Amino acid sequence: MRHDEIEEMRTLPLFVGVASTHVESMLRASFLQRFPAHVELAREGDPADFLHVIIDGQIEMYSAYRDRETTISVIGPGHSFIVAAVILDRVYLKSARALLPSRVLLIPAEAVRRSFGEDAAFSRALALELAGAYRSVVRELKNQKLRSSLERLANWVLTHDGESGGTGRFELPFDKKVLASRLGMAPEVLSRSIAALIPYGVKVSGRAVEISDMGALTGLAHPSPTIDGTVS
Amino acid sequence: MRHDEIEEMRTLPLFVGVASTHVESMLRASFLQRFPAHVELAREGDPADFLHVIIDGQIEMYSAYRDRETTISVIGPGHSFIVAAVILDRVYLKSARALLPSRVLLIPAEAVRRSFGEDAAFSRALALELAGAYRSVVRELKNQKLRSSLERLANWVLTHDGESGGTGRFELPFDKKVLASRLGMAPEVLSRSIAALIPYGVKVSGRAVEISDMGALTGLAHPSPTIDGTVS
DNA sequence: TTATTGTCTTGATTTTTATCAAGCTCAGCC
DNA sequence: GGCTGAGCTTGATAAAAATCAAGACAATAA
């Protein structure tokens, strides 16, 4: 890594309050790597060699079983992944692939575990990070177990609109195929569910989404603070 | 709490390596409470007042949405719950009820957060605890999204047999109704799925389960280390 | 003993979701 | 312009799961 890149990485939220000697030692051992789209960055079942932090781009976390595959999440700049596997020194539970060309900081697991053991601020930052991640998955599990596919879609639209300014207009951040998998349904079901939202004032054409009747959509979606809550 | 009870609590895995002044200060503020069966110990949406540690008994973690309800997990002695909500100072995402008469250690959230901020060993213990919990939920989410109900049941039987000695015989640890909800299916579907396991050598009568053809069951279940793995 | 209650099972049916098979649309390209 | 192919949609059908409605069964109380 170049010196200016190291300076850029120092400011990562993961490192705030962490002794600079520890940040230094982790970053010295790290790589800042570019990945073209469609490339696989980690495969489930492999030992966790690196903590990954997305600098830019977009990464899909997914998992396969038999002849099936599902998207667990799609994450962007600032997010780190496989923290849990790294600090427990276990195998990855998910695979990761780049949806867009991406730059990712790779911090060797060994260095992370050393700082985790030596630096209290860092171990606290990781604990908070993990607590947030834990709550996200719990929400997602509830979303899956308690809602129908139409409800999941309606709530996703609502949440995503909220996250992108609440203007009632936004662009899908990735392919519908990926969205379908993320929401836990077949692509055909997503198509039909999108059509089923028309009476509730949601118009989707291509990647453009437009909500014209927020009340009707909210009535269908029944958003819940303990499933959709915006803060961890 | 009585003095001998405090001594008993000191040995909790959560406290190993933690400065005894901190353990002391948390325990002094804690309550050891008995709950009869069927009682609700925490309700989703409420602010996290206490970190709960199960001393004995059995607790169901569940969640409701509209007129539906689902069991997230059923946990026993030694397990703590709502760690994430406590350290982030957020609202519970799940409710908890006693399935059996239970004794639970209640540590005030405030005390936990103080020790978390001051004691590195404790914050590390919490981070590891959270990392394990995170991985469990990820596994469960994959289980839900990637498997059919029959596969989920087959794998649960296999895993549970493994956890109870691998003898091919065990007792269901709770009602079938709860198991159905835990596995994400209606009770009627569980009944039929149990019947569907007969050709694979699984016999269930009342709470007694007997596996006579481990090979056939394994062939149906397709257990995967990244979903069913016994260690975190 | 009989009555009662809750849990579980079974059958019939509906709803939800997945799958299979064409088609459509549109950007990129000759 | 027309061709191509990926991504998406639509229709028909099948499979999976939920729901509704009885009953069976077992434990417990009267």
What are the residue ranges of CATH 1.10.10.10 in chain B?
148-228
Cα separation, B72 vs A47, in Å, equals 28
**Tell me: the pLDDT tens digits for A190-228?**
999 999 999 999 999 999 999 999 999 999 999 999 999
A127-131 average pLDDT score: 97
The reply to whether CATH 1.10.10.10 applies to domain B148-228 is: yes
Residues of B in contact with A44 (CB under 8 A): 226
* pTM, to two decimals: 0.96
What is the structure's pLDDT at A230?
A: 72
* A to B CB pairs, distance under 8 Å: 146
Token pair, residue A197, equals 């939202």
B3-144, CATH topology level: Jelly Rolls (2.60.120)
Query: Among residues of chain B, what percentage have pLDDT more than 70?
Result: 100
Min Cα distance A131 → chain B (Å) is 5
What is the structure's pLDDT at A22?
A: 96
What are the residue ranges of CATH 2.60.120.10 in chain B?
3-144
A159 burial type by CB count under 10 A (0-12 exposed, 13-18 middle, 19+ buried): middle
**CB proximity under 8 Å: B 79-108 to A:** 83-85, 87-88, 90-94
Beta-carbon contacts of residue B10 (< 8 Å; ≥ 6 apart): B20, B23, B27
Residues of chain B with pLDDT under 50: none
Min Cα distance A112 → chain B (Å) is 13
What is the structure's pLDDT at A1?
A: 84
**Tell me: the pLDDT tens digits for A17-37?**
999 999 999 999 999 999 999
pLDDT band at A86 (very low <50, low <70, confident <90, very high): very high
Select the residue from B14, B43, B51, B63 to test the A interface by mutation, using most A Cβ atoms within 10 A. B63
Residues of B in contact with A140 (CB under 8 A): 141
- End-to-end, the C-alpha distance of chain A in Å comes to 32
Tell me which residue has tokens 């695979």.
A95
Q: Report in angstroms the alpha-carbon separations of B24 from B10, B55, B81, B117, B123.
A: 8, 18, 20, 16, 16
Q: Please name which of B54, B38, B56, B44 lies closest in space to residue B97, comparing C-alpha atoms.
A: B38
> Residues, chain A, total?
232
CB contact under 8 A, B120 and A116: no
Min Cα distance B211 → chain A (Å) is 24
